């Protein structure tokens, strides 16, 4: 007997966990740097393909490929900041300019993926998913369980890091008020770099977990980015817990939404929510209103 409600809820939580993985890294970067780093989606996509290359193409052990992938994604994020964003920031480019450049970078990264790996779908066969586990009338697969468990641990670790560690506190200081942070001796450029390293490391984890559960496609970056971004906006783009909360909400609303309408409109639900929140509550559910310049 299938419990539809519970199944939708579980599907929603899983989707939410995936979006939250994307959103947490992204909002960490946004809150620190104060611009929209759209290319974050590209980092996820490229990392997923990197994992594929190591694990499926080169046959490297998964427990070696995964950490290497995280290393790769951190490095990629750090490099993007160093080569592209930092020089523009030095030129006092507006955040709109950085937004446009980040979109261009997203397209650049996705096109590189298309170029080197082709358009067809790739799969990472690490966890056997053909047999789901029954759970009070709903089905959940092993990789989905893995996603939920690992992401919760990750979020908790991130929370502790932001609250307790020196770098985490410095990041929150810069996010709050960069000028004051610099006065007390925090180098904002260094913090920007760290935010990209850590945010992109989370992106790497996201790539790994998502690839276990879903197919890898060249446009997965854009799609995930839109969903993650929407989740972040719904919760609060300027604080990471808010982004995570918003993403889970998005996942759940999406999945319950298709109870009422054709499943093709699932994405449309996200877009409409995005549009509505940007118009009426851009600071998100948990955010504080501040003046839009």
Partner 1 sequence: MIDAYFIHLLILIGIYLILAMSLQLSLGYSGLLNLGHIAFFGIGAYVSAILSLSGVPFLISILVAGIISGFFGWLLSLPTSRLKGDYLALTTLGFSFVVYAIFLNWVEITKGPFGLPGIPRPNIFGIDFSSNTFFLILVVIFVLISYFFIHRICNSQFGKALEATRDDELAAKSLGKHTLKLKSISLVVSAFFAGIAGCLFASYITFIDPSSFTFINLIPILLIVIIGGLASLRGTILATIIIVLLPEPLRFIGLPSSILGPIRQIVFALMLILIMYFKPRGFFGKVDLE
Summarize as ranges the residues that interact with partner 1 (CB under 8 A).
35-36, 84, 87-88, 91, 93-97, 99-101, 103-105, 107-108, 110-112, 114-115, 118-119, 222, 226, 229, 262, 264-265, 267-268, 271-272, 274-275, 278-279, 282, 292-293
Distance (Å, whole) CA 42 – CA 207: 10
Please say which residue, 111 or 215, places its beta carbon nearer to partner 1: 111
Q: How far is the CB of 171 from partner 1 (least distance, A)?
A: 21
Q: How far is the CB of 53 from partner 1 (least distance, A)?
A: 17
Please say which residue, 91 or 166, places its beta carbon nearer to partner 1: 91
Please say which residue, 1 or 119, places its beta carbon nearer to partner 1: 119
Q: How far is the CB of 248 from partner 1 (least distance, A)?
A: 20
Please say which residue, 3 or 79, places its beta carbon nearer to partner 1: 79
Q: Which of 112, 105, 145, 139 is nearest to 127 (CA)?
A: 145
Q: DSSP string spanning 103-137?
A: HHHHHHHHHHHHHHH-SS-B----S--SSPEEETT
Residue 68: both structure tokens together: 């290497």
Residue 34: both structure tokens together: 């104060």
Supply the DSSP symbol for 83.
I
The answer to whether 46 and 113 have CB atoms below 8 angstroms apart is yes
Helices and strands: H and E segment counts in the chain:
12, 2
Cα end-to-end distance, the chain, whole Å: 55
Q: How far is the CB of 205 from partner 1 (least distance, A)?
A: 25
Please say which residue, 98 or 206, places its beta carbon nearer to partner 1: 98
282: left (phi over 0), alpha (psi -120 to 50) or beta: alpha
Q: How far is the CB of 1 from partner 1 (least distance, A)?
A: 31
């Amino acid at each position: 007997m299938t419990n539809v409600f519970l199944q939708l809820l579980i599907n929603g939580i899983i989707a939410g966990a995936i979006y939250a993985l994307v959103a947490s890294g992204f909002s960490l970067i946004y809150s620190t740097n104060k611009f929209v780093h759209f290319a974050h989606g590209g980092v996820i996509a490229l990392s997923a393909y990197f994992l594929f290359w190591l694990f499926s193409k080169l046959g490297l052990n998964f427990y070696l490929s995964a950490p290497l992938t995280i290393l790769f994604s951190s490095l990629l994020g750090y490099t993007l900041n160093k080569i592209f964003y930092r020089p523009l920031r030095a030129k006092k480019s507006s955040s709109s300019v950085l937004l446009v450049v980040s979109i261009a970078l997203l397209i650049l990264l996705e096109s590189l993926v298309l170029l080197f790996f082709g358009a067809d779908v790739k799969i990472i066969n690490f966890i056997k998913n053909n047999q789901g586990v029954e759970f009070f009338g709903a089905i959940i697969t092993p990789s989905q369980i893995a996603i939920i468990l690992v992401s919760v641990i990750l979020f908790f670790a991130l929370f502790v890091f932001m609250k307790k560690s020196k770098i985490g506190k410095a990041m929150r200081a810069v996010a709050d008020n960069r000028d004051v942070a610099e006065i007390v001796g925090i180098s904002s450029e260094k913090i920007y770099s760290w935010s990209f390293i850590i945010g992109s490391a989370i992106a790497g984890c996201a790539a790994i977990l998502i690839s276990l559960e879903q197919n890898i496609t060249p446009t997965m970056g854009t799609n995930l980015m839109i969903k993650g971004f929407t989740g972040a906006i719904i919760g609060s783009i300027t604080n990471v817990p808010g982004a995570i909360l918003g993403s889970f909400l998005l996942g759940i609303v999406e999945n319950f939404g298709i109870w009422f309408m054709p499943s093709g409109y699932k994405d449309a639900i996200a877009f409409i929510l995005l549009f509505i929140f940007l118009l009426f509550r851009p600071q998100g559910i948990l955010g504080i209103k501040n003046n839009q310049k």
